[in-house]
Amino acid sequence: MPPSSNGSSSSSRGSASSSSSSSWGLPSIGPCTFVLVVVVVAFGSALLGGYVVQQQHMLAASIKAEDVQEQSQQQAQAQAQTQQRWRPQGVDSGLAVSGTQQRPGQEGTHSQPPAAAEAGMHLRDSDRFQDPSGGGTDHSSHAASNDDDDTDDFDDDDQETLQDQEREPLATHTRPELQHQQQQGKGSGGGWSQTMLPNLLAPANITDQGLYPRLIGIGCQKCGTTSLAAYLSMVKGFIMSTQKEIHAFNGDLLYRQYVNDSPKLAPRLVSRVKWYGSKWGKLGLNIKCDAKTLACHGNAKPDTVPFEFTPRYMSDLRRPYNMWQMLPGPEQTTFVAILRDPVARAWSSYHHALRPEDATPQDFGGLISEEVRLLRSCYNSTLALLSLDGLQRAHTAYQGASAAAKNGGSRGGHSGGGDTSANKGKSNKEASGTATKAAMGMEAGGPFDLAQCRDIRAAYDAFHQCMKPKAADAKQPWFVKFTLNYDADMNKPAHAVNRHAGFAYMGLYADQLFNFLCAGFKPDQFIILTSGELKAEPVAAVKRVTDAFGRPFDVEDMRWFERGLSNNRRSRGRMPARTEALLRGLFQPYNLALARLLASMPFNVNMTHVLDEFGVNEADIHLAL
């Protein structure tokens, strides 16, 4: 009977040597013959194995050759398409996005305003760090937010593409002032080679109604964003996303590049846009897209202001670029940022990061002194956009620009809102032109010349290269979470360290705001509030936002304004004096740069509050550094 398997066959052969005939009925063989057979079989196997390996190599080589060929074809196509608007092919498909979870007992401990509760809104603080063990959402009483953990499926899926195309050049785009600078060969002396990225969803492809959130809160973490989001959600017509923070623009800078080169990504992009819209639930946008033409439309009522508030949009320098590419109407979107004294912000951020399980809370002073040391060594030479040297050199130009700005009256004044409202700003934009540009200091050589913008990817790289050897623990440097998680270097186990980090880095607001301009947005799209302003005059602060949309401050229930509102992670006690002095010294020039930036461009800002919040003298704005 033939064996039913190799196993039985082998055991039969094993018994053959000791019996006169095999159970297969074959003639018996002696030991020499057996050894010979084994040698022949082994030799044959080796030959066969070698052949297989050789075939594999040939196959791999041919695949590689095809890849190279395909890549060069793609590059040629991409070059040919550079000036063409992208038209994706493909079908729409669902995007699996993990929902954020409500904090247990949230309603009990952290009362929500009525309007927010009605809308099923989850008020969130801005920084839920991942469980280092990979356990996902942190259910501790402290954990509530979904900030910046980059766990979004879309990003994960993009990793491969990102690595493949990491150093692809960016597509050319048309922003007159930038083109001009490039043509003139101006720039930051080997600094900014990056050209503007086109946005993906052409405004021509969207209907007027409700496709995009008209208002996006971009920062800052621990600056009062929870309160402002809650206040706004109580104003009639302002519709907050079903969770405060959406983190919709995580990921890499090169979405358009990817989609150009890899049409299979088109449906995912469309899915992402739809997913974003779905975050407004039934009240919201209900976006429908045709994946072939990328024509999308939503059905939010035209007189509503759908909004969301993700504080980390501002401090992660990649996000504005992603927003520019992925917002259907990037130039129609209004942004609101609350700015807070960066020293107080850092202290609040530290307490936000502490967990009950931190048996020995990290030493704030120690963390800050390392961070300040690293920033001082590496930040200005790599990641900084507004070089302080540049500001000093441009002092003369700045004074001229500032005077012109005052005469032109194009920037937000002390009254706040008014003519400089973000929406009304559209007509300002039309009216602007060379004179305003000069007033804004954006002209070549001006203090806020867009030539100071940088290729953020390269800047991050340089920042890391500079800091790594200087970090106390190069394997788990504190800055990973804030600047390194854009590529495969993301070191998940380092979360335990990272959540105690970046406290100072996140307070360098001038560069962060300027970076939005680098991405393509205009100053008059930004409403700037300060924490002090929000705390002292919540109604006036919210009115500045409603005014910007030409909407009445229509609030049924004022109780929440009177009571104030915050998440439950509050800072406690006082920062050690030495650490405070260290931070004040670090921030002083950046605060001044911020005040100058805000004063000289048509941001919607109340400068009185800015000067108060940042301890800057008005006279110093006009002095050389």
Ligand X SMILES: Nc1ncnc2c1ncn2[C@@H]1O[C@H](COP(=O)(O)OS(=O)(=O)O)[C@@H](OP(=O)(O)O)[C@H]1O
> Among 130, 137, 241, 531, which residue interacts with ligand X (rule: CB under 6 A)?
531
DSSP E strands in 472-586: the ranges are 526-530
> What is the three-state SS of 366-399?
HHHHHHHHHHHHHHHHHCCCCCHHHHHHCHHHHH
Does the annotation place 23 within a ligand binding site?
Answer: no
Does the annotation place 348 within a ligand binding site?
Answer: yes
> Among 187, 217, 224, 520, which residue interacts with ligand X (rule: CB under 6 A)?
224
> Among 342, 507, 538, 602, which residue interacts with ligand X (rule: CB under 6 A)?
538
Q: Does 74 bind ligand X (CB under 6 A)?
A: no
Give the C-alpha distances (Å, rounded to integers) separating 437 from 28, 428, 449, 528, 610: 99, 12, 10, 20, 23
Evaluate whether 433 touches 562 at the Cβ level (below 8 Å): no
Rounded to 5°, the CA angle 390-615-349 comes to: 90
Residue 342: DSSP 8-state: H
Evaluate whether 131 touches 355 at the Cβ level (below 8 Å): no
Catalytic residue among 222, 244, 274, 424: 222
| Least spacing, CB of residue 404 vs ligand X, in Å | 34
Evaluate whether 470 touches 377 at the Cβ level (below 8 Å): yes
> Among 201, 216, 218, 223, which residue interacts with ligand X (rule: CB under 6 A)?
223
For ligand X, the closer of residues 247 and 454 by Cβ is 247
- Distance between CA atoms of 352 and 293, rounded to whole angstroms? 44
- Distance between CA atoms of 348 and 503, rounded to whole angstroms? 9
| Least spacing, CB of residue 567 vs ligand X, in Å | 5
Q: Which residues, 8 to 47, sit near ligand X by CB under 6 A?
A: none
Coil, helix or strand at residue 121: coil
Residue 149: DSSP 8-state: -
Q: Does 222 bind ligand X (CB under 6 A)?
A: yes
Q: Which stretch binds ligand X (CB under 6 A): 123-131, 191-199, 474-482, 502-510?
A: 123-131
406 part of the active site: no
Tell me which residue has its CB nearest to ligand X: 125
- CA 151 from chain centre, in angstroms, equals 12
- Distance between CA atoms of 153 and 471, rounded to whole angstroms? 31
> Among 205, 226, 242, 485, which residue interacts with ligand X (rule: CB under 6 A)?
226
> Among 101, 566, 588, 608, which residue interacts with ligand X (rule: CB under 6 A)?
566
Q: Does 316 bind ligand X (CB under 6 A)?
A: no
> Among 227, 322, 333, 382, which residue interacts with ligand X (rule: CB under 6 A)?
227
Q: Does 348 bind ligand X (CB under 6 A)?
A: yes
Q: Which stretch binds ligand X (CB under 6 A): 86-94, 122-130, 430-438, 470-478?
A: 122-130
| Least spacing, CB of residue 151 vs ligand X, in Å | 18
- For residue 449, how many other CB atoms are within 10 A of its CB? 23
| Least spacing, CB of residue 91 vs ligand X, in Å | 38
Q: Does 571 bind ligand X (CB under 6 A)?
A: yes
> Among 100, 106, 112, 126, which residue interacts with ligand X (rule: CB under 6 A)?
126
For ligand X, the closer of residues 271 and 348 by Cβ is 348
DSSP per-residue letters across 219-281:
E-TTSSHHHHHHHHHTBTTEEE-SBS---TT-S-S-HHHHHHH-GGGHHHHHHHHHHHHHTTG
For ligand X, the closer of residues 199 and 310 by Cβ is 310
163's CB contacts (< 8 A; 6+ apart) are 487, 488
Q: Does 125 bind ligand X (CB under 6 A)?
A: yes
In terms of Cβ atoms closer than 10 Å to its own Cβ (0-12, 13-18, 19+), residue 465 is: exposed
**Binding residue numbers for 3'-phosphoadenylyl sulfate:** 340, 348
Q: Which residues are catalytic?
A: 222
Binding residues: 340, 348
Binding site for ligand X (CB under 6 A): 125-127, 145, 221-227, 311, 348, 351-352, 531, 534-535, 538, 564-567, 570-571
